[in-house]
Amino acid sequence: ADAFWASFRPAKPFIVGLNCALGPKQMRPFIERFATVADCFVSCYPNAGLPNAMGGYDLEPAEMAEQIAEFADAGFLNLVGGCCGTTNHHIQAIAAAVRDKPPRKRPAPSPHTLLSGMEELTLSDQIN
């Protein structure tokens, strides 16, 4: 997430996030890191869990909403939705779970230079 952010930061994106491929549990460490390093809004559109052997998704609306509510409680999110396997019931449950939670506060942009290749490099006063 750090190298990704260092690569995209110069474009000054309005929002950064993850969509599809993972369920909320598997997406959490990446969203948490984006919430820490990104000075733009953060979004999360997970699948309803990982696909089962038949290609379906087994994460029930209430369980998915509970996991997403934990993200909101931790201050990770500005925008949330769902991707593969989510239904209108999932979205309704997620909306109800985050309705009264404050959105993530964006951190001030870092004054340090960020560079990236395969891993990020931050140039700051502590570089010596």
Q: What tens digit of pLDDT does each residue of 72-90 get? A: 999 999 999 999 999 999 9
Of the chain, the percentage scoring pLDDT greater than 70 comes to 93
Indicate the pLDDT class of residue 66, thresholds 50, 70 and 90. very high
Parallel/antiparallel/unpaired status of strands 41-45 and 15-19 = parallel
Q: Is 83 annotated as a binding residue?
A: yes
Residue 102 reports pLDDT greater than 70: yes
| Average pLDDT over every residue of 58-76 | 97
Q: Is 84 annotated as a binding residue?
A: yes
Indicate the pLDDT class of residue 98, thresholds 50, 70 and 90. very high
In angstroms, the first-to-last Cα distance of the chain is: 25
**What homologous superfamily is domain 2-127 in, according to CATH?**
Homocysteine-binding-like domain (3.20.20.330)
∠17-18-19 over CA atoms, to 5°? 130
Q: What tens digit of pLDDT does each residue of 112-121 get? A: 777 666 666 6
Q: Is 40 annotated as a binding residue?
A: no
Domain spans of the chain? 2-127
Beta-sheet strand order (sheet of 41-45): 15-19, 41-45, 79-80
Please state the pTM of the whole predicted model: 0.82
Q: What is the DSSP letter of 75?
A: T
Average pLDDT, the chain: 90
Indicate the pLDDT class of residue 128, thresholds 50, 70 and 90. low
